[in-house]
Amino acid sequence: MSRVALPAGIQVLERGWLSANNVVLTEGGGAVVVDSGHCHHAEQTVDLLRDALDGATLDEVVCTHGHVDHMGGNARLQAVFGCPVAVPEGLFERVNRWDEEALLLRATDQQGDRFTAARAVRAGERRAMGGYEWVALPAPGHDMDALVFHAPDARVLISGDALWRDGFGILFVELYGEGGGIEATRQTLEAIARLPVDLVIPGHGAPFVEVDEALEAAFARLRAFEEDGARIARNGIRALFAFRLMEQRAFTLDDLPDYLDRVPIYREANRRFLGLSPDALASWLQADLVRAGVARREGDLLHAT
Ligand SMILES: [Zn+2]
């Protein structure tokens, strides 16, 4: 994929899958960063940001949504830069109570560094960042409280995990919550398709200009999910466990069946869509991750590649 030119005032610190991209929007001596990465990478995020800021003051950290790979660096950035953090309105109370159940930390067996949100970003809110006016738009689906940020004049969209070059983030609400994720995602994608956008800055992967192709791929994935619910579960379990493997680098294979049966989101997704025994789920998962090149087996360990 070719690198695309970014408008002046916009820098994208492209990270891997464990940490979401950080979008640095600078104007004059001030800057805002959208999404802060994973807590395991917090020091790296601080270093990258210092470079990108180049002496500018970090005025605020804004999060597109409430997942550990997007808001995991908030606590550290708050401590180092002394800046306030803003989160989507729907997450504000949950974050400030640090409700590990509602933030899905417990259900997904993930860790996040607790931070305090100073401000709630409302859908429809307009704000100047990096020399452009951005509108916060609701983007439910992957996270029902997610926002995306659209700059109509620059025709840029910061999409978080609502739209990637090849798909979108796990539909948690289908795996573990009350459902409605497919319909919400469709409405979000349709809303994005109506926006004037030439450049998408996704939460993961390089910024891209193939907006129509990306939307087509996302709609196709959504149709596949709709036709076969098991795909939602297989996709979600695979992505979430690959993420887990990236966090801890290696996993003892003997522990995998019990782990998948103990961590609520895997157990529930399996119960709802697959109906496999823990052993069968574990052997499918490890074979699938190895086949996809995401993991390799070494003795009784599964390693992230
Ligand atoms: Zn996410």
As a whole number, the mean pLDDT across the chain is 96
Q: How far is the CA of 300 from the centre of ligand 1 (A)?
A: 30
Segment 117-139 mean pLDDT: 97
Segment 150-178 mean pLDDT: 96
pLDDT of residue 1: 44
Q: How far is the CA of 162 from the centre of ligand 1 (A)?
A: 8
Q: How far is the CA of 143 from the centre of ligand 1 (A)?
A: 7
HEC string of 87-124 equals EEHHHHHHHHHCCCCCCCHHHHCCCCCCCCCCEEECCC
pTM: 0.96
Q: How far is the CA of 29 from the centre of ligand 1 (A)?
A: 30
Q: How far is the CA of 28 from the centre of ligand 1 (A)?
A: 31
- For residue 111, is pLDDT > 90? no
Residue partners of 132: CB distance under 8 A and separation at least 6: 7, 9, 10, 25, 151, 153, 154, 156
Segment 232-243 mean pLDDT: 96
pLDDT of residue 125: 97
Q: How far is the CA of 71 from the centre of ligand 1 (A)?
A: 10
pLDDT of residue 3: 78
Tens of pLDDT, residue by residue over 263-285, are 999 999 999 999 999 999 999 99
Q: How far is the CA of 160 from the centre of ligand 1 (A)?
A: 7
Q: How far is the CA of 242 from the centre of ligand 1 (A)?
A: 14
- Which amino acid is located at 158 in the chain? I
Q: How far is the CA of 255 from the centre of ligand 1 (A)?
A: 26
Q: How far is the CA of 35 from the centre of ligand 1 (A)?
A: 10
pLDDT of residue 146: 98
Q: How far is the CA of 134 from the centre of ligand 1 (A)?
A: 21
Q: Which residues pair with 250 in a beta bridge?
A: 303
pLDDT of residue 12: 97
Tell me which residues have their CB within 5 A of the ion that is ligand 1.
67, 161, 169
Structure tokens at 279: 């052993």
Count Cβ atoms within 10 A of the Cβ of residue 291 and give its class: 0-12 exposed, 13-18 middle, 19 or more buried. exposed
Q: How far is the CA of 146 from the centre of ligand 1 (A)?
A: 9
Q: How far is the CA of 127 from the centre of ligand 1 (A)?
A: 23
d(CA 66, CA 63): 7
Residue partners of 235: CB distance under 8 A and separation at least 6: 170, 225
pLDDT of residue 2: 52
Q: How far is the CA of 21 from the centre of ligand 1 (A)?
A: 11
